[in-house]
A = this chain, B = another copy of it.
């Protein structure tokens, strides 16, 4: 039997996700019940592309479960520089570890890697493609903050064209009844057509607007994203657009009292620091939920969850 992996958030059925979130809630309630669950287990963190935040979140999760972590955090120190194939590297690391979290700059690399892994493999980001543990983090944050995953008006703001977390969140939240999406972006950075086709095919309501102010009063959830310099084709476009979608206290005046403001972080200036003290800002709580949901995922893939 091949081990279970998480490559793409769509690998998980809504029932799978429910199991992950349900176990996460148990961990939140009694973390001490899980502090030795992974005693003697080893997580391998293979980061062929740097991502401090994601790597530390996985490491924290495994340590909180009593397990240990080994890994690489830069491609330069890997055997792949000696001409080894990614498959061989993964096959080898399978013998050192009980579960692997891999980040790699090439799209599709996680799928390839999972074919050579002899332990469960988690995709911690492959190129612009997929980053499913961020989506699980977002779902847990929404669930903990709003108490359910349905009947929400969800605003997504910023770079909706290249932001993989946005696409995954739309897909994931579309599985729950009566969610509606408001897509807030400059024309140049609208969601790709395949996302719109997906929403149309499911008969899910969405609208596209250009300014936060137009819609802020209707939102239950506002998911801000960073305008990533590295996604732009030229510097001039980046400079022109990067400050267009900045959230501040002024823009929040007309927002609902129970709005939840999320952000995958890191941010540059798309949310002003003054917003941090607003009780509706949950993006730093989101960081903590990211650790919890990875604990739940590790347990589940190792067969100690409810998956």
Task: Flag A37-79 by CB within 8 Å of B: 1 or 0 each.
Answer: 0011010100000111100110110011010111111101111
| Residues in B neighbouring A78, C-beta threshold 8 A | 50, 52
Option from B56, B95, B228 in Cβ contact (under 8 Å) with A284? B95
**Closest Cβ neighbor of A63 among chain B residues:** B68
**Cβ–Cβ < 8 Å partners of A290 in chain B:** 95
Size bin of chain A's contact surface: 35 or more
- Assuming the contacts A56-B96, A79-B52, A284-B91, asked whether A84 and B40 have C-beta atoms less than 8 A apart, the reply is no
Contact B96 A57 (CB under 8 A): yes
A229 touches B (CB below 8 Å): yes
A295 to B288, CA, bound (A): 26
Q: A33 to nearest B CB, angstroms?
A: 12
Instruction: Tell me if A268 is interfacial: C-beta within 8 Å of chain B.
Output: yes
Whether, in the assembled complex, A196 has its beta carbon less than 8 Å from a beta carbon of chain B, the answer is no
Contact B72 A267 (CB under 8 A): no
Q: Chain B residue with minimal CB distance to A76?
A: B50
> Do A266 and B42 form a contact, CB below 8 Å, given A56-B96, A95-B284, A291-B95?
no
Q: Which of A71, A76, A284 has the most CB of B within 10 A?
A: A284
Contacts of A96 in B (CB 8 A): 56-57, 59-60, 287, 291
The complex is assembled from copies of this chain, and their number is 3
Tell me, yes or no, whether A92 is within 8 Å of chain B by CB.
yes
**In whole angstroms, what is the CA distance A35 to B36 when docked?**
13
Question: With an 8 A cutoff between CB atoms, is A97 at the interface?
Answer: yes
Among B35, B42, B73, point to the contact of A63 (Cβ < 8 A). Answer: B42
Interface residues of chain A, those whose CB is within 8 Å of chain B, are 35, 39-40, 42, 44, 50-53, 56-57, 59-60, 63-64, 66, 68-74, 76-79, 81-85, 87-89, 91-93, 95-97, 226, 228-229, 265-268, 273, 284, 287-288, 290-291
Question: Which 3 A/B pairs are nearest by Cβ-Cβ distance?
Answer: A84-B266, A60-B96, A83-B268
Show 21 residue pairs from A and B whose CB-CB distance is below 8 angstroms, ordered by the A residue.
A44-B56, A50-B76, A50-B78, A53-B79, A56-B93, A60-B95, A63-B68, A73-B77, A79-B265, A82-B229, A82-B268, A83-B266, A84-B266, A84-B267, A85-B273, A87-B273, A88-B266, A91-B284, A95-B287, A95-B288, A96-B287
14 further A-B pairs in the complex, CB-CB below 8 A; given A40-B66, A42-B60, A84-B266: A35-B40, A50-B81, A52-B77, A52-B78, A56-B71, A60-B97, A68-B68, A79-B265, A83-B229, A85-B273, A89-B266, A92-B265, A95-B291, A96-B291
